Amino acid sequence: MDPRSLEVGELISEVFLVAEAKLQVDRRGQNYYSLTLNYEGGRRIDGKVWADNIGAKIAPGQGIEVLARIDQYLGDLQLNVQRYKILSPEEFDVSRFVRVTEIDTDEAFETLFNWERDEFKDPHFKKLMGAFYANEAFAQEFKTSPAASFHHHNYRGGLIEHTLDMWILAGKLFEHYGGRFDRELLLCGVAVHDVGKVKCYTLATAVSEHTDVGNLLNHIFISASMVSNLWDSVVAKDDEKAAQKKVLLLHIILSHHGKRDWGSPVLPQTSEAMLIHYCDQISATMRSCFDAIQQRPEGESWTDKLYIMDDPRRLFVPPV
């Protein structure tokens, strides 16, 4: 059942996965829970448990059975939880409530990291990508990691889906602009720009969360460090041409958010870095848009609010 298809005021009795649970204090000084809940398929709805209805402690990753009223707050539907029960692992099949990418992750990893194909010639990039490709632990992490904790591709396999999305975009734009880029630098930059995210997010509770390392160091720094260390180990340290390529590749990683206000320590200053920044923006923004459209209440023309391009907005979906 999709709670968003119900009417405001209706009561539902349903099972959810707790994605977020924040114990907060209201204006009267009383505790309440602010919840984000996954229903089947990994789609989400917000909820509140007010002071009079608080029972057992609620934590991310738990299964929870609720009796709730459908309310509306600032135009968005949410659950007003009247009663709840925390479910034991035996009572709850977490896999039903976790979103998983729909792409073939094995095939995608081959496309991104197996550079022993005839189309790739540069020996330096081939060595780097070969080292990533041969690392079985990294391969497993990259195929399963989310790309974010909330905003986009925040589900199992989201990172590789996001990276493949950018790979396809970059390839098409390379062709559109008549090959005015270093193609192998461009595609290598796409493949490794977010590799540090395998250390930044965890699905330990079946919900995407930041790791301590991710919070302390940030995925841009970790990605650049992973690439720099591996380059020095398997590519070359003293070769002048290799050193220049390493700098250009690290520049792509460090600048791919596009602005210092968005987390990049440097601004894009090569055509390849600029293109990768925009591919990153397109992939993340359109995933957020498509998710909002898919999750809008049944029969509604407007989505819930989503935060893109530095401002919150709703999307309009014309009736068919």
109 and 255 co-located in one domain = yes
CATH code of residue 155? 1.10.3210
Confidence band, pLDDT 50/70/90 cuts, at residue 19: confident
3-state secondary structure of 185: helix
Same domain, 62 and 127: no
Q: What is the mean pLDDT of the chain?
A: 91
- 139 and 39 in a common domain: no
| The last residue of a domain, from among 95, 130, 151 | 95
Q: Would you say residue 212 lies in a domain?
A: yes
What's the CA angle centered on 283, arms 4 and 136, to 5 degrees?
105
Summarize the confidence of residues 252-267 as an average pLDDT: 95
Q: Scan for tokens 């894009």, then name that residue.
A: 268
Helix (H, G, I), strand (E, B) or coil at 79: strand
- Contact call for residues 197 and 211 (beta carbons, < 8 A): no
Q: What percent of the chain has pLDDT over 70?
A: 97
At 83-103, the pLDDT tens digits run: 999 999 889 888 788 888 999
Confidence of residue 35 (pLDDT cuts 50, 70, 90): very high
Domain match, 117 and 174 both: yes
Please compute the mean of the pLDDT values over residues 282-293 and round it to a whole number.
Answer: 93
Instruction: Write the CATH number for 14.
Output: 2.40.50.140
**Residue 320, domain member (yes or no):** no
Q: Give the pLDDT confidence score for residue 81 in this predicted structure.
A: 97
Q: Give domain status of residue 308, yes or no.
A: no
Residues 112 and 61 both lie in one domain: no
pLDDT over 80 (residue 2):
no
The count of domains in the chain is 2
- State the number of CA atoms in the 13 A half-sphere of 119 facing the CB: 10
pLDDT band at 4 (very low <50, low <70, confident <90, very high): low
Q: The whole model's pTM is what?
A: 0.81
Give the pLDDT band of residue 1 (cuts 50, 70, 90): low
Q: How confident is the model at residue 283 (pLDDT cuts 50, 70, 90)?
A: very high
Q: Where a domain ends, among 48, 68, 95?
A: 95
139 and 71, same structural domain?
Answer: no
| Model pLDDT for residues 115-149, shown as the tens digit of each residue | 999 999 999 999 999 999 999 999 999 999 987 76
Spatial distance between the Cα atoms of 138 and 101, rounded to a whole number of angstroms: 18
Determine the pLDDT at residue 237: 72
Alpha helices, H only, 78-157: 105-113, 123-134, 136-144
Q: Which domain holds residue 87?
A: 3-95
Band (pLDDT 50/70/90 cuts) for residue 150 is low
Same domain, yes or no: 214 and 181: yes
